[in-house]
């Protein structure tokens, strides 16, 4: 685990998309100031098109911010070529269709030398088997991914995270495509990461998932951060995140 106090710091982060022809420039994220503490599970809530995926993609360097800075474990990522010890699972996971899970894991090992450096070769084999077993994919380990359903691909992505044990796990709507068993597995994995003092940052539409595993939750609307809620305070007051979320969604003036 990193010694830094904050796993993610977004400082005045903005992203604008230039409009086509007569369309005006669209602002997807506006001056986002978000802090995810090291070792916490942090939820990211918002309606469709609120800017969750854009923010997450900026954090994992898939898109470039228009302005602002992002720090991962205290290091500004502006000039970094890639993020180490950070894993990301997109909303819809796609793998190379003619490769098997065993090969995809091997491929991931070769692409992430820093993450896997601490694990010995013999340990790696047993850990791979354990990760595939835990995600229910062991018997499919030699089957090409083209035959996998969306949920199975999501499980494979989770198996990779289990194996890699990154210090920071970023998930974008990880529950989509998963059956109830899969969602239960996902939450178990998040709890496992929490016990290992790893940081998890994930976006979701399911408030129940967030309430179950998160320490804090940030609510975003039309690209602006409305509030960050500490769930331990809420639990003491027996308040509901859902009620607060709906209240925030109604109170702020809506835009189209």
Binding site for other proteins (CB under 8 A): 57, 60-64, 81-84, 86-88, 90, 92, 94-99, 103-104, 107-108, 110-115, 144
Map residue 193 onto helix, strand or coil: helix
Contacts of residue 169, defined as CB under 8 A and 6 or more positions apart, other chains included, come to 86, 87, 88, 89, 161, 190, 193, 198, 199, 200, 201, 202
Residue 6 C-beta: closest distance to other proteins, Å:
20
Residue 254 C-beta: closest distance to other proteins, Å:
27
**Helices marked H in the chain:** 52-59, 101-111, 113-116, 121-134, 150-164, 180-195, 207-213, 231-237, 241-251
Torsion sign (Cα): 160, 166, 172, 173: positive
Nearer to other proteins, 114 or 246 (CB): 114
Nearer to other proteins, 112 or 204 (CB): 112
Residue 92 C-beta: closest distance to other proteins, Å:
7
Nearer to other proteins, 103 or 227 (CB): 103
Residue 94 C-beta: closest distance to other proteins, Å:
4
Nearer to other proteins, 31 or 100 (CB): 100
Main-chain phi, psi angles of 197, to 5 degrees? 60, 30
Residue 148 C-beta: closest distance to other proteins, Å:
13
Nearer to other proteins, 54 or 218 (CB): 54
Distance CA 116, CA 82 (A): 16
């Amino acid at each position: 685990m990193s010694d830094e106090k904050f796993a993610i710091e977004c400082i005045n982060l903005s992203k604008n998309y230039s409009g086509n022809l007569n369309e005006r420039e669209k602002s997807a994220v506006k001056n986002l100031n978000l802090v995810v503490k090291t070792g916490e599970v942090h939820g990211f809530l918002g309606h469709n098109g609120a800017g969750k995926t854009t923010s997450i993609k900026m954090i994992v360097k898939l898109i470039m911010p228009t302005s602002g800075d992002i720090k991962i474990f205290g290091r500004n990522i502006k000039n970094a070529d890639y993020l180490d010890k950070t894993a990301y699972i997109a909303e819809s996971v796609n793998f190379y269709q003619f490769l098997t899970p065993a090969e995809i894991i091997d491929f991931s090992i070769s692409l992430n030398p820093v993450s896997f450096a601490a694990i010995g070769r013999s340990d790696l084999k047993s850990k791979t088997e354990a990760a595939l077993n835990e995600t229910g994919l062991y018997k499919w380990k030699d089957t090409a991914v083209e035959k996998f359903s969306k949920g199975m691909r999501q499980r494979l992505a989770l198996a990779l995270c289990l194996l890699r044990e990154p210090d920071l796990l970023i998930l974008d709507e990880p529950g989509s495509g998963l059956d109830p068993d899969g969602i239960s597995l996902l939450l178990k994995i998040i709890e496992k990461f929490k016990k290992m003092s790893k940081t998890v940052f994930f976006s979701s539409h399911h408030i129940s998932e967030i309430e179950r595993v998160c320490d804090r939750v940030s609510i975003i609307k039309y690209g602006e951060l409305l509030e960050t809620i500490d769930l331990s305070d809420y639990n003491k007051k027996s308040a509901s995140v859902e009620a607060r979320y709906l209240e925030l969604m109604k109170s702020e003036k809506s835009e189209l």
